[in-house]
Amino acid sequence: MTVTHDVPARSEVASAAPERAPARRNRQLAAWAFLAPIVVYLFAFYAYPLYRNLDLSLRNYTVRSFVRGDAPFSGLANYTKVFHDPTFGPALLHTVVFTGVSLVFQFSIGMALAVFFAQSFRLSATLRALFLVPWLLPLIVSASTWSWLLNSDSGVVNAALHAAGVEPVNWLTSPQWALTSVIIANIWIGIPFNLVVLYSGLRAVPAEIYEAAALDGATGWATFRRITFPLLRPVSAITLLLGLVYTLKVFDIIWIMTKGGPTDASTTFATWSYRLSFGNLLPAFGPGAAVGNLLIIMALIFGLLYIRIQRRQQP
Amino acid sequence: MIRPLKTAIGVLLTAVMLFPVYWMINVSFTRDTDMRASPPHLFPVHGTLEGYRAVLDQQLPYLGTSLIVGLGTVLLTVALSAPAGYSLAKLRPRGGGVLSFVLLIAQMIPGIIMAMGFYATYLKLGVLNSTAGLILADSTIAVPFGVLIFTAFMSGIPGELLAAAVVDGAGPLRTFWSVVLPVSRNAVVTVSLFAFLWAWSDFVFATTLDGGGAHQPITLGIYHYIGNNNQQWNAIMATAVIASIPATLLLIVAQRYVAAGVTAGAVKD
C-alpha cells in the first residue's frame, strides 16, 4: 500500500506517453512544488532535531555550555560512559523483557480474540469497536487508571487477591513487581491494535478454504493450526514487527506509573534516556542523547526488517 | 457453539477488557471518605460530583490549551500531508520512492529522542513553553501517517477524473484544490481525527517542551494532579474521564475511520 505511486494507473501511462520533454519537466516541477513544504518540514523538524541529538551525544555538555552551545567535542566518551554505567545492564534487560513479554501476550491474546470475533454472532461488530477503547485513550489516562487499580492499599486488584486468599502485592513499589505491573498495563493497551490488524487479516482469508477444510474433517484447533495460522503468517510478521518498533519506544506508561523505579527496577532505555536528560536537577544531556541514539538504532534495525517484509508482500 | 452463547462470551470478554475504564468512571464518582474503603465499593453508591467540580475549578485552562493544540496540529498536518500525498500518488515525482521511505523511517523514531532534539533547538530559539512550539512538535507524530493515508487514498482516484480537469484547463494547483481534495474527504477526516487524538494525548512533548509554560495541555494537568495531591483520586479520575471524551466521540462518530487508520500501514488493501 505504501509504494503504490510507483505503479502508475493504466490511463496515466496512456496519456503520459506522447508528452514532450518540456511538458515532462513542467510536470516534475509541479510534483516537487507540491512536495516542497514537506521536504522543508522533514529537514527542519526531523533531520535537524536528530542531528542536534547526535551532536549532543558527541559533546561534553554542562547546563552552561548547553545554553551557550560551546561544549567541547568529546568523541564517543558519552557512549563509553553509558556502557559502563551500572544502569546499562538492567536497562537493556528490562527493555528486552518489557518488549518481548508485551509482544507475546498482546499478539496471542489479540489473535485469540480476532479468531473469536471473526465468527458471526450478534453484537460482534459493536463489541469489537468497544475493544478499541484502551488503544484510543490518552496514555496518561490509562497509566493513571492502572496506577490506582494496582495501588497497594486501596487498589481493586489487591482487594480481589485478598478475597481469593492471596497476600497483597506491592505492585508499583516493590522491585520484584514494578516491571510486571507496567508490562500488564502495556499489554492491555496493545491488545486492540493486534486484534484489529489480525482481524482484518483473517477477513482476507477466502471462506472456501475453510469450507474445504471442514469437508476434509478439520475442526477447531486443527483448522487454526493448519490453515488460519499459516495463512496469517505475513500479517502476523508485520503486526509483530510494527508492535516491536512501537513497544521499544514506550515511555509514557512506565514514566507515569513508576518513573522507572523503584531504583531502576522498571527502567528501560526510553525512561533512562529521559531521566538522564530531564529527570535530574543536573541534566546529563550528553549521556541521555547517547542512550536515545542506541534506542534509535534498535528501532531502526527492526523497522527496516518490517519495511523489507512489507515490500516483499507487494504483488 | 450456538450463537447466543457466543454473544454472551463476547460481552463477557469485552466487560473484562473494559473493566479498567469502568473503574476509572467509578472512582471519579467516589467520595473521598470511601476512597480507601476495604474492600473498595464496586459501584459509586454514595456518588459525588466533587471530583468533577474540582475539574471545572482547576482544569478548564488545561482543556482549552489541549483543544487549541489539537486543532492547530490538525491544520498543520493536513496542510502538509495532503499536497504531498497528491504528488506522490498522482504526479510521479522523480525520487518520490525515497521520500516515502524516509517518511516510513521517520514514523519509527522514538518520541523522547525527537523531544530531546526539539528541546535543544527550542531553548536556543526561545520558544520553549509556547503553544505554537508544542503544535509543531506534535505534528511530527501525525505527518508521516498523514502522507501515508493521503497517498494510499489518492492513488485510488481514477486518472480520467484528473485528465478531465486538465482538459477543462485546470492546472495542477486547481486540480488539487477543486477535484482531488473534495473527493478525498474520507482521507481528510481520518487524518484529522488521528492528528487531533495524538496531539490531545501527547505527554512526551508536553512534559519536555511545555513543562514550565503558562498554557499547558490536559495531559500535564493530570500529571501534576498525580504528583501534587495523592489523595484526591476522584478528581484525578474525573479529569481522566473528561480527557477521554475525544477518544470516545471519535469511536462513536467515526468508527469505520478509526479501524481504517489502525490497519493502514500494517496491512495492504
- pLDDT for position B269: 34
Backbone phi, psi, residue B194, to 5°: -70, -40
Query: Would you list the DSSP string of B114-181?
Result: HHHHHHHHHHHHT-TT-HHHHHHHHHHHHHHHHHHHHHHHHHTS-HHHHHHHHHTT--HHHHIIIIIH
Q: Which of A13, A19, A28, A34 to mutate to test the interface with B (most CBs of B within 10 A)?
A: A34
Asked whether A276 and A287 are in contact (CB, 8 A), the reply is: yes
For the range B4-8, what are the long-range contacts, defined as Cβ-Cβ under 8 Å and sequence gap of 24 or more? B4/A121, B4/A122, B6/A116, B6/A119, B6/A121, B7/A121, B7/A122, B7/A123, B7/A124
DSSP letter for A71, please.
P
Q: Do B159 and A9 touch (CB under 8 A)?
A: yes
A61 touches chain B (CB under 8 A): no
What is the mean pLDDT of the segment spanning A59-69? 75
Q: Is B90 in Cβ contact with A140 (below 8 Å)?
A: no
Rounded to whole angstroms, the Cα distance separating B85 from A1 reads 13
- Give the Cα separation of B73 and A275 in Å (integer): 27
Query: Tens digit of pLDDT for each residue in A213-231?
Result: 888 877 778 888 888 888 8
Is residue B252 within 8 Å of residue B245, measured between CB atoms?
A: no
CB pairs under 8 A between A and B: 326
CA distance A176 to chain B (A): 23
Residues in A touching B113 (Cβ below 8 Å): 49-50, 53, 273, 289, 292-293, 295-296
**Share of residues in chain A with pLDDT > 70 (%):** 93
**Grid coordinates of A34:** 507540491
The predicted structure's pLDDT at residue A75: 80
Residue A144: CB atoms within 10 A of its CB come to 24
Residue A279 in 3-state DSSP?
A: helix
Residue of B23, B17, B19, B54 lying closest to B41 (CA atoms): B23
pLDDT score at A13: 42
Among A247, A239, A240, residue whose Cα is nearest residue A201: A239
pLDDT value at position B57?
86
Fold of A87-313: MetI-like fold (1.10.3720)
> Average pLDDT, stretch A11-24?
56
Nearest chain B CA: its distance from A45 CA (Å): 7
Instruction: Specify the pTM.
Output: 0.86
Domain boundaries along the sequence of chain A: 87-313
For chain B, domains (ranges, CATH) are 1-48 (no CATH), 52-258 (1.10.3720.10)
Query: In this predicted structure, what is the pLDDT of residue B43?
Result: 81
- Residue A16's pLDDT band (boundaries 50, 70, 90)? very low
B61 preceded by a cis bond (ω within 30 of 0): no
Query: On the CB side of A157, how many CA atoms lie within 13 Å of its CA?
Result: 19
**Alpha carbon distances (Å) from B4 to A120, B7, B11, B14:** 11, 5, 11, 15
For the stretch A19-54, pLDDT in tens is: 567 777 888 888 898 999 999 999 988 899 889 888
- For the record, the C-alpha cell of A189 comes out as 493497551
Q: What is the per-residue pLDDT for A15?
A: 45
To 10 degrees, the CA torsion angle through B202, A302, A4, B142? 10
Phi, psi of A204 (to 5 degrees): -80, -10
Cell of A200: 482484518
Is the pLDDT at A67 greater than 80? The verdict is no
Taking the CB of residue B28, how many other CB atoms lie within 10 A of it?
A: 25
What distance in Å separates the CA atoms of residue B237 and residue B244, rounded to the nearest whole number? 10
Least confident residue range of A32-36, A67-71, A239-243: A67-71
Query: What mean pLDDT is reported for chain A?
Result: 84
Per-residue pLDDT for A154 more than 60? yes
**Closest in A42, A148, A278 to B208, CB measured:** A278
Mean pLDDT (whole number) for A228-236: 85
Closest by CA position to B194, among listed B155, B242, B246:
B246
In this model, does residue A242 exceed pLDDT 70? yes
Q: What are the pLDDT digits (tens) for A80-111?
A: 888 999 999 999 999 999 999 999 999 999 99
Q: Does B230 touch chain A (CB under 8 A)?
A: no
Please tell me the total number of residues recorded for chain B in this structure. Answer: 269
- Chain B CB contacts of A123 below 8 Å: 7, 10-11
What does the pLDDT profile of chain B (269 residues) look like in tens digits? 577 888 999 999 999 999 999 999 998 998 877 877 777 888 887 788 888 988 888 888 999 999 999 999 999 999 999 999 999 998 888 888 889 888 888 888 888 888 988 988 888 888 888 899 999 999 998 999 899 889 888 888 888 888 888 888 888 888 899 889 998 888 898 889 889 999 999 999 999 998 877 889 999 988 888 877 567 888 889 999 999 988 888 877 777 776 666 666 554 33
A11 vs B94: CB contact, 8 Å cut-off? no
Q: Measured between beta carbons, which residues in chain B are less than 8 angstroms from residue A156?
A: 23, 40
The verdict on ipTM greater than 0.85 is yes
Structure-model confidence comparison of residues A123 and B257, the more confident one: A123
Structure confidence at residue A14 (pLDDT):
43
B259 vs A contacts (CB less than 8 Å): 129, 132, 196, 200
